[in-house]
A and B are shown apart, each in its own frame.
Chain A
Amino acid sequence: MTHGPGTNGLILEEPLLWEKGKPGRMAYSMPPSDVPEETVDEELLGEGPDFPDLGELDVVRHYTRLSQWNFGIDTGMYPLGSCTMKYNPKINEKMAATPGLASAHPLLEPEFSQGILKLHYELQEYLARITGMDAVSLQPSAGAQGELTAMLMFAAYFRKKNEKRTKILIPDTAHGTNPASAALCGFTSIPLASGEKGILDPAAVKELMDDETVGIMVTNPNTLGLFEEHIREITDIVHERGGLVYGDGANMNAIMGIVDIKRCGIDAVHLNLHKTFSTPHGGGGPGSGPICVTAELAPYLPVPRVAASDNGYILETESEDSIGRVHGFFGNVSVLIRAYSYILSMGPANLKKASQLAVLNGAYVKARLLDTFALAYDRPCMHECVFSDARQQPFKVTTLDMAKRLIDHGYHPPTIYFPLVVSGAIMVEPTETECKDDLDTFIEVCKTIAQEATKEGERLREAPSITKVRRLDETQAARKPCLTG
Chain B
Amino acid sequence: MRYLPHTEEEIGEMLAATGRRSLDDLFAHLPDDVRYEGDIDIPGPLSEWELTDHLQDLGQSMFTGSSRAVLIGAGSYDHHQPEIVRSLSGRAEFLTSYTPYQPEMAQGTLQGIFEFQTLTARLLGTEVANASMYDGASALAEALLMTLRIGKKKRTVAISSAVHPHYREVVRTYLAPGPFEIVELSLGEDGRTNLSGLDEIDDLAGVALQSPNFFGVIEDHAAGAELVHGLGALYVACFSEPLSFGLFKSPGSVGADIVCGEGQSFGMKQSFGGAGLGMFGCKQQFVRSMPGRVVGQTVDMEGKRGFVLTLSTREQHIRREKATSNICSNQGLCAMTAAIQMATLGRTGLRQLAKLNYDKAAYLRKGLLAAGARPLFSGPVFNEFAVIFADDFEPARERLLGKGIVAGLPLAPFYPDVGNAFLFCATETVSKTIIDEVLEEVRR
**Does the CB pair B4–A485 fall under 8 Å?**
no
Q: Are B44 and A345 in touch, CB under 8 angstroms?
A: yes
B residues within 8 A CB of A395?
A: none
Residue A225, interface by CB 8 Å: no
Segment at the interface with A among B55-63, B187-195, B384-392: B55-63
Rounded to whole angstroms, the CA-CA distance of A432 and B10 in the bound complex is: 13
Which of A44, A65, A281 is in CB contact (< 8 Å) with B248?
A44
Q: Which of A104, A231, A354, A483 contacts B296 (CB 8 A)?
A: A483
Q: Which of A20-28, A200-208, A386-394, A448-456 contacts B (4 or more CB under 8 A)?
A: A20-28
Complex Cα distance, B178 from A152, in Å, reads 10
The residues of B that contact A380 with a CB separation of less than 8 Å are 26, 28-29
Distance between B143 CB and nearest chain A CB, rounded to angstroms: 14
- Contact status A31-B269, CB under 8 Å: no
Beta-carbon contact of A53 and B328 below 8 Å:
no
**Residues from 29 to 53 in B contacting A, C-beta threshold 8 Å:** 29-31, 33-37, 39-46, 48, 51-52
CA distance A73 to B301 in the complex (A): 27
Question: At the interface, yes or no: A348 with Cβ under 8 Å from chain B?
Answer: yes
Chain A residues, Cβ within 8 Å of B127: 484
Known: A71-B97, A115-B57. A130 touches B346 (CB 8 A): no
Residues from chain B with a CB closer than 8 A to the CB of A44 are 218, 247-249, 380
Contact mask A344-385 → B, CB, 8 Å, 1/0? 111111111110110111011011100000000001100000
Q: Is B30 a contact of A259 with CB atoms below 8 Å?
A: yes
B178 close to A186 (CB less than 8 A): yes
The interface size bin for chain A is: 35 or more
Is B403 interfacial (CB-CB < 8 Å)? no
Contact B343 A141 (CB under 8 A): no
Report the stretch among B224-232, B305-313, B369-377 that lies at the interface: B305-313
Residue in chain A with minimal CB distance to B173: A324
Contact of A258 among B36, B306, B315 (CB under 8 A): B36
Q: Are A21 and B329 in contact (CB under 8 A)?
A: no
Residue of B nearest to A341 (CB): B51
Indicate if B237 sits at the interface (CB-CB under 8 A): no
B312 touches A478 (CB 8 A): yes
Q: What CA separation (Å) do A287 and B125 show in the bound complex?
A: 28
- Confirm or deny: A9 has a beta carbon within 8 angstroms of a beta carbon on chain B: no
A333 to B276, CA, bound (A): 10
Residues of chain A lying within 8 A (CB to CB) of residue B43: 344, 347
Contact with B along A250-276 (1 / 0, CB 8 A): 000001111110011000000000000
Assuming the A-B contacts A59-B343, A71-B105, are A283 and B321 also in contact, with contact meaning beta carbons closer than 8 angstroms in the complex?
no
Q: Which chain A residue shows the least CB distance to B26?
A: A359
Contact A473 B298 (CB under 8 A): yes
A288 to B249, CA, bound (A): 35
Does A141 contact B138, Cβ atoms closer than 8 Å? yes
**Minimum C-beta distance from A471 to chain B (A):** 5
Candidate in B55, B91, B312, B358 with the most chain A CB atoms within 10 angstroms: B55
Q: Which residues of B contact A83 (CB under 8 A)?
A: 98
Report the minimum CB–CB distance from B193 to chain A (whole Å): 16
CA distance A62 to B119 in the complex (A): 15
Closest to A406 in B: B102
Considering the complex, which residues of chain B in the window 282-318 have a beta carbon less than 8 Å from any beta carbon of chain A?
287, 293-302, 304-308, 310-313, 315-318
Complex CA gap A143/B359 in Å reads: 42
In the complex, what distance in Å separates the CA atom of A130 from the CA atom of B51? 20
Q: How far is the CA of A255 from the CA of B63 in the complex (A)?
A: 39
Q: A353 CB to closest chain B CB, in angstroms?
A: 6
- State in angstroms the CA–CA spacing of A328 and B237 once bound together: 17
Contact A95 B52 (CB under 8 A): yes
In the assembled complex, A309 has its CB within 8 A of some CB on chain B:
no
| Also in contact, A334 and B40, with CB within 8 A (given A45-B248, A350-B4) | no
Pick the contact of A97: B20, B92, B253, B269 (CB < 8 A).
B269
Find A263's partner among B24, B35, B302 (CB 8 Å cutoff).
B35
- A-B Cβ contacts below 8 A, count: 698
Are A232 and B31 in contact, with the CB atoms below 8 A?
yes
B317–A95 touching, CB < 8 Å: no
Task: Establish whether residues B340 and A329, one from each chain, have CB atoms under 8 Å apart when the complex forms.
Answer: no
* CB-defined contacts of B66 to chain A, threshold 8 Å: 100
- Chain A residues near B57: list those with CB within 8 A: 115
Is B150 positioned at the interface, with any CB of A under 8 Å from its CB?
A: no
Say yes or no: is B245 at the interface (Cβ < 8 Å to chain A). yes
- Indicate if A305 sits at the interface (CB-CB under 8 A): no
Say whether B344 contacts A59, CB under 8 Å: yes
Given A72-B97, A96-B271: A51 touches B350 (CB 8 Å cut-off): yes
Contact across chains for B107 and A469 when beta carbons are under 8 A apart: yes
| Contact for A31 among B4, B80, B322, CB less than 8 A | B80
* B65 touches A (CB below 8 Å): yes
Q: Which residue of A lies closest to B312 (CB)?
A: A478
Tell me if B250 is interfacial: C-beta within 8 Å of chain A: yes
Given contacts A73-B96, A328-B166, contact A179 B320 (CB under 8 A): yes
| Cβ < 8 Å to B, chain A residues 8-43 | 14, 16-18, 21, 23-31, 33-38, 40-41
Name the A residues within 8 Å of B30 (CB-CB): 227, 229, 258-259
Q: 1/0 per position for B122-135, CB-CB distance to A under 8 A?
A: 11010111011011
Segment from A84-92, A237-245, A290-298 that makes contact with B:
A84-92
Residue-wise interface mask of B (168-184) relative to A, using a CB-CB cutoff of 8 A (1 in contact, 0 not) = 01101110111000000
Cβ contacts under 8 Å, A7 to chain B: none
With contacts A145-B134, A435-B10 known, is A468 near B274, CB below 8 A?
Answer: no
Partner of A231, one of B34, B253, B302: B34
Assess whether B104 is in contact with A468, with CB atoms less than 8 Å apart: yes
Within 8 A of A (CB), among B84-112: 84, 88-100, 102-109, 111-112
Given the known inter-chain contacts A227-B30, A282-B333, please indicate yes or no for A27 contacting B3, CB distance below 8 A. Answer: no
Question: Given that A95-B51, A129-B42, A144-B328 are contacting pairs, would A31 and B356 also be in contact in the complex, using a CB cutoff of 8 Å?
Answer: yes
Counting CB contacts under 8 A, is A103 at the interface? yes
* Cβ 8 A contact of B348, one of A23, A38, A255, A361: A23
A69 touching B111, Cβ below 8 Å: yes
Minimum CB–CB distance from A35 to chain B (whole Å) comes to 4
Within A137-189, the residues touching B (CB, 8 Å) are 141-145, 147-148, 151-152, 155-156, 175-177, 179-186, 188-189
Counting CB contacts under 8 A, is A107 at the interface? yes
Which B residues lie within 8 Å of A331 (CB)? 273-274
Contact of A68 among B108, B248, B347 (CB under 8 A): B108
Question: Is A307 an interface residue when CB atoms closer than 8 A count as contact?
Answer: no
Check: A116 CB closer than 8 A to any chain B CB.
Answer: yes
Instruction: Check if B64 is an interface residue, CB within 8 A of chain A.
Output: yes
Given the known inter-chain contacts A180-B323, A285-B331, please indicate yes or no for A75 contacting B347, CB distance below 8 A: no
Could you say which residues of chain B place their CB within 8 Å of the CB of A345? 3, 44-46, 48, 51
Shortest distance from the beta carbon of A386 to any chain B beta carbon, whole Å: 16
Residues on A with C-beta less than 8 A from B117 are: 483-484
Provide 24 A-B residue pairs closer than 8 Å at the C-beta atoms, listed in order of the A residue.
Answer: A16-B111, A17-B339, A23-B348, A25-B346, A44-B249, A46-B247, A46-B250, A59-B343, A66-B111, A67-B88, A70-B105, A99-B65, A181-B326, A189-B320, A232-B31, A256-B40, A257-B40, A329-B135, A344-B45, A347-B45, A407-B104, A471-B300, A482-B297, A483-B297
Q: Which 8 A-B pairs have the closest CB atoms?
A: A329-B273, A347-B44, A100-B59, A282-B333, A100-B65, A106-B273, A347-B45, A284-B332
